[in-house]
Structure formats: C-alpha cells, structure tokens
Structure 1
C-alpha cells in the first residue's frame, strides 16, 4: 500500500502537526531541490546556447549530455539511489544516440522527453476512462476519503484534477511536437526549459490547492 508521506513529498507538500501543508521548501524538494532544478534547466539551456552559436548537433548534444552526466555523478556522491542515477544515464545515452546517429538531427535529443510525457499522460487518461482517476487515490491516502468513488461530487472533482494532469502532459506535446517536426531546435529547447521544472512546480501547487479544497469539507469521513 502506498505510503501517504511519500505521496505527499511527490506532490510537494509536507506533513506537520496541523496536517499537510504546502511550503516553498516542500515544493522545491518535490522537483528535486536546487540540484534538481539545475538538472532540469541547465542542460537544455546549454544545448540551446551552443546550437545557436554552432548550428551543429555534435557540440550541442555533447555539451548538454556531459552536463547532465555531471549532475548524475553529483547525485551519486550525495548517496542518491543508484537506480535513479542509472535510469538517468540511460535516458541521456538514448537522447544522445538519437541525435548523433546516422540520419539523426539535433532535435532528436528531446525525443525521450516526448515519450515520457506521452506515457504519463496516457496513464492518467486511462485512469479517468476506466473510472479510477489517480488523483482520487491521492485524496484517499492523504485525507482518508475511502468512499470518494461512491460520492458523486468527490468523484467528479477528483476526475477533473486528474484531467488537469492529462492536460499538462498533452500541452507539452502540443507545443513541442510541432517545433520538433519543423526542426525549430532553439525554440524547442527553450520550451523544454519553460515547461520543465517551473511549470511542473506550478502544477503541483495548483493540484494541492484543488485537492485540499475538495478534501476539507469531507476531511473526517472514513
């Protein structure tokens, strides 16, 4: 059974004597802390700058991938889980291979991100279609709303929150895929930065506001 504390951390909230709360510190921790923000922003920024200067995939991809690997090494020294580092390294290797392979192009460096967004969006959408919206379980684990699926207004609201997440991942694809197919590499890299950690932090804050508003009137229902 999922741990409510782990769910809270992933949503950018923290537990206190007064219950769950959102703070700058907890929100920052949810997106990986200062290192996580740098890891999400700087490689794409370096990619964009180098490509703008050179118009060449090799130095652009090499610089971004090298910087991303440095962040992974830092995480290893911080004794972060090895699995997380390995997954990150594999993702970087795949992105670099796609961009530098025969017939590849610089924009292919961002293809793994498209796959990730499509996968998450698909999972959240399927949960709505099968009438088990994921955010309903967040409300259940955090606030004890065990009967949310049998309570129409709770079900509808948690379905809406889940669809907000579907919209978030879909919007990333709707904006970035046309840039990819038109080979607007610099704009693609810039959109990746803007719609990365900053946008995700905004999504977490909005999600917390919506879930708390849903749960407060029903807080003591079990």
Structure 2
C-alpha cells in the first residue's frame, strides 16, 4: 500500500518520490495520456490538411468524422476506455454540423473554441468559489473525492493553484485563437489550432503535477469506509460473542 492509499496524518508533508510517480500516472490517466492527446489532434489535423489541399469542406469534414469513429472502434476492439475517444467524436460532430450549417469551413473549429473558452472560465470561477474544478476532476482518481475541501487544506490549496493555471492557460489560448477566427483564413486558423493542441495541455498538466507533488498526500476515503465497515462487523461479532452466541445467531433465531 502506497502513501496514496493511507489517510494523511501530517498535512504539511509533501508526497514522497514514489507517490510523485503515482501522481504523474494518475494525471495522464485522467486526461487521456499520450494516446488521448493523439486522438484529439488527428481529426483536426486531417481536416486542415485536406482543406489546405483542395478547399473542399465536405470532404474535409467527412474525413475528420470518419477518423474519429475509427479511433473509437479501435478502442472498443481493444476493450479500452472510450471516454476520451467519444469526447473527440462529439467535438468533431458538433464542428462538422456547425460548418455544414453555416457553409463556413472556419466554423468547424468554433464549437471547440467556445468549449475551451467556457472551460477556462469554469476553472477560474470554481476556484474563486472555493471548489476548484481540477479537484473535482482528480478527487475520484486519487480516491479522495471531496475530502480535500475540509480535511486536507494543503491539498485544496494545490488544487486551487492548478485550477488557476489551467484557467489562465486556456484563456491565453483563446486570446490567440479568437482574433485568428475573425482575421485569418481557414487554413491559417486550422494549423495554429493544431500547433496549440498539445503544448498548452502539457504545460497545464506539468504545473498540476508540480503543485500536487508538493502537496500533502490524498486521504483515501474509500479505504476509510472499508475500514469502518470492517470495524462495525468486528464490533457486532464481539457483542454476539459476549452474549454467548455465535455471530449472526440472533438473526437466525429471529
């Protein structure tokens, strides 16, 4: 059992070296890892590459949607988690539908840009409200749920810092993309979007890892609940034994 599996007793102590590796693995699991990053880039890359060559909105959109579906099918065939692939499909579907409706190829990117803008504000607003979004996302991954809000102030502070980082990075990305949406052509906007897919994400994940690596270990609330259930069973068994009956005897006679 690692330090991540035990309730923290000293909330001023940072994570140990092995727990830092666990934190890194958990972060990439939560955000899709290398494969998830590839799946988010490929549809947009294919769209802008085809559109750059032939300026055909329909062909570009169909190709982007097709490759997204293929990625989902591959994950299903490998019996792997599909949540990141499905989120990519939904993003592509909205982009394709919007571009087809308006007839403007640049609108393929608009739903994703609006999502990024909204997500950036969500990180900032939830942090100001005292419930940083990154903590809501990662709490279940670290088996701590919302225990960090009241029982682990050092960890709450780390989540707040990480949420600020995510929010500012996403809003900075939007500050680049939205002017390009109005002033640049489709290919220019598309290639900038492809370039900005991975680096800001990696920066945000890295800063999150830095903040959490210096934070107290999470409190495993699942382990605590299991321990409480086990203790309750032991108390019931002890009471039954003291009464001269085997555990569960009263229930059988009643």
- TM-score of the pair, normalised by structure 2: 0.63
Residues 33 and 155 of structure 1, relative CA distance in 2, 3 Å threshold: closer
The separation in 2 between residues aligned to 1:22 and 1:83, in whole angstroms, is 21
Is 1:127 the counterpart of 2:126? The answer is yes
* Cα drift, residue 44 of structure 1: 1.7
Match of 1:12 in 2: none
Query: In the alignment, is the contact (CA less than 8 A) between 2:36 and 2:85 conserved in 1?
Result: no
Query: In the alignment, is the contact (CA less than 8 A) between 1:22 and 1:205 conserved in 2?
Result: no
After superposition, what is the alpha-carbon deviation per residue over 1:78-124, rounded to whole angstroms, capped at 9, x for unaligned?
224566665544332221111112x3311111122123212322221
Residues 106 and 22 of structure 1, relative CA distance in 2, 3 Å threshold: farther
- How many matched pairs? 202
The separation in 1 between residues aligned to 2:50 and 2:82, in whole angstroms, is 30
Match of 2:182 in 1: 181
RMSD of equivalent CA atoms: 3.8
After superposition, what is the alpha-carbon deviation per residue over 1:121-160, rounded to whole angstroms, capped at 9, x for unaligned?
2221111222333456769949x865555x7xx8766533
The separation in 1 between residues aligned to 2:104 and 2:50, in whole angstroms, is 15
- TM-score of the pair, normalised by structure 1: 0.71
Residues 129 and 24 of structure 1, relative CA distance in 2, 3 Å threshold: closer
Q: Radius of gyration: which is bigger?
A: 2
Residues 16 and 96 of structure 1, relative CA distance in 2, 3 Å threshold: farther
Match of 1:94 in 2: 94
Is 1:48 the counterpart of 2:65? The answer is no
Look up the SS of the partner of 2:21 in the other structure.
Answer: strand
Match of 1:118 in 2: 117
The separation in 2 between residues aligned to 1:27 and 1:220, in whole angstroms, is 14
Look up the SS of the partner of 1:36 in the other structure.
Answer: helix
Alignment gaps of 5+ in structure 1: 6-14
* Cα drift, residue 170 of structure 1: 0.7
Is 1:170 the counterpart of 2:174? The answer is no
Residues 48 and 165 of structure 1, relative CA distance in 2, 3 Å threshold: same
The one of the two structures with greater contact order (alpha-carbon pairs below 8 A, sep at least 6) is: 2
The separation in 2 between residues aligned to 1:52 and 1:212, in whole angstroms, is 43
Look up the SS of the partner of 2:20 in the other structure.
Answer: strand
Query: In the alignment, is the contact (CA less than 8 A) between 1:39 and 1:68 conserved in 2?
Result: yes
Alignment gaps of 5+ in structure 2: 6-14, 220-254
